[in-house]
């Protein structure tokens, strides 16, 4: 498969702080690949994601996205921890918001919104206000909005950390179902090792100060994976050891 993301020699400093968050970091991603990035609190996971999203500029190094220019979609989009739905817009309007600026007719935009709401299983709730949605539904709204721009790379920053354990499991399964259908490249940030192994093709461990990749573990377990299985637990132990 073709490479979609190539990070080389990446370093990031906040402001005048002389100590970089991470330094000389290299990472490649194949198109369609699901990568989870794990690491302790404050190690630099969100900073890395923000650099890849174009929301922060690295001090050194390069981030190359190998995608074709297309003014009907965006190269990447982000799902944040809190869903970030605008409270003054109904769900449908929140999802449509990201389509501003794309070269689509009004009908094409409406079709896109319908398509991603269906994918996120929110089509029945399209006319609700955000405050009329559950935490899990808000997160799925955030995912639908990110998918509406048909990103080549979907970036997810701890998207399920604010919901209860049961909802989290449902959201994980729904995300996998969406991924199976769209086969999009996903970079998923989490501090939860088992979540990372349950979801991803590869788990990348960030560790140290400045941080770098301590382990890049391919997860060969066939899907659907079983939470709590011995294989999964053994991998979780290896990854915990690298943290």
Q: Give the residue with the Cβ less far from ligand ATP, 21 or 196.
A: 21
Q: Give the residue with the Cβ less far from ligand ATP, 41 or 105.
A: 41
Which residues are at the interface with ligand ATP (CB under 6 A)?
Answer: 14, 21, 39, 41-47, 191
Distance CA 46, CA 53 (A): 10
Q: Give the residue with the Cβ less far from ligand ATP, 122 or 203.
A: 203
Residue 33 C-beta: closest distance to ligand ATP, Å = 21
Distance CA 192, CA 59 (A): 28
Residue 39 C-beta: closest distance to ligand ATP, Å = 5
Counts for the chain of helices (H) and strands (E), in that order: 7, 9
Strand order in the sheet with 202-207: 76-79, 153-157, 185-189, 34-39, 202-207, 212-218
Residue 44 C-beta: closest distance to ligand ATP, Å = 4
Q: Which is nearest to 96 in space by CA: 109, 85, 87? A: 109
Q: Give the residue with the Cβ less far from ligand ATP, 41 or 124.
A: 41
Residue 182 C-beta: closest distance to ligand ATP, Å = 26
Tokens of 239: 């990854």
Tokens of 211: 């941080």
Beta-strand (E) ranges in the chain? 3-12, 22-30, 34-39, 60-65, 76-79, 153-157, 185-189, 202-207, 212-218
Residue 200 C-beta: closest distance to ligand ATP, Å = 17
Q: Give the residue with the Cβ less far from ligand ATP, 102 or 243.
A: 243
The residue with tokens 């029945």 is: 124
Distance CA 22, CA 92 (A): 38
User: Is residue 65 within 8 Å of residue 5, measured between CB atoms?
Assistant: yes
Residue 45 C-beta: closest distance to ligand ATP, Å = 4
Q: Give the residue with the Cβ less far from ligand ATP, 50 or 140.
A: 50
């Amino acid at each position: 498969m073709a490479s979609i993301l190539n990070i080389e020699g990446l370093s990031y400093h906040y402001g005048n702080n002389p100590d970089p968050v991470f330094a000389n970091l290299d990472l490649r991603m194949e198109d369609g690949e699901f990568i989870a990035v794990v690491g302790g609190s404050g190690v630099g996971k969100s900073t890395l994601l923000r650099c890849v999203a174009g929301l922060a500029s690295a001090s050194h190094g390069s981030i190359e996205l190998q995608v074709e220019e297309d003014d009907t979609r965006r190269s990447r989009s982000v799902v944040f921890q809190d869903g970030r739905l605008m409270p003054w817009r109904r769900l449908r309007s929140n999802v449509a918001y990201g389509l501003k600026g794309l070269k689509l007719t009004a009908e094409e935009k409406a079709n896109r919104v319908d398509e991603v709401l269906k994918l996120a299983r929110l089509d029945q709730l399209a006319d609700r206000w955000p405050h009329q949605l559950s935490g899990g539904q808000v997160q799925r709204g955030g995912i639908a909005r990110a998918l509406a721009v048909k990103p080549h790379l979907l970036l997810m920053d701890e998207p399920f950390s604010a919901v209860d354990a049961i909802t989290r499991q449902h959201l994980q399964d729904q995300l996998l179902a969406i991924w199976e259908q769209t086969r999009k490249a996903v970079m998923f940030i989490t501090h939860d090792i088992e979540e990372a192994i349950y979801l991803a093709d590869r788990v990348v461990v960030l560790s140290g100060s400045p941080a770098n990749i301590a382990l890049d573990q391919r997860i060969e377990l066939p899907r659907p994976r079983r939470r709590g299985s011995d294989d999964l637990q053994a991998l979780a132990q290896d990854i915990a050891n690298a943290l």
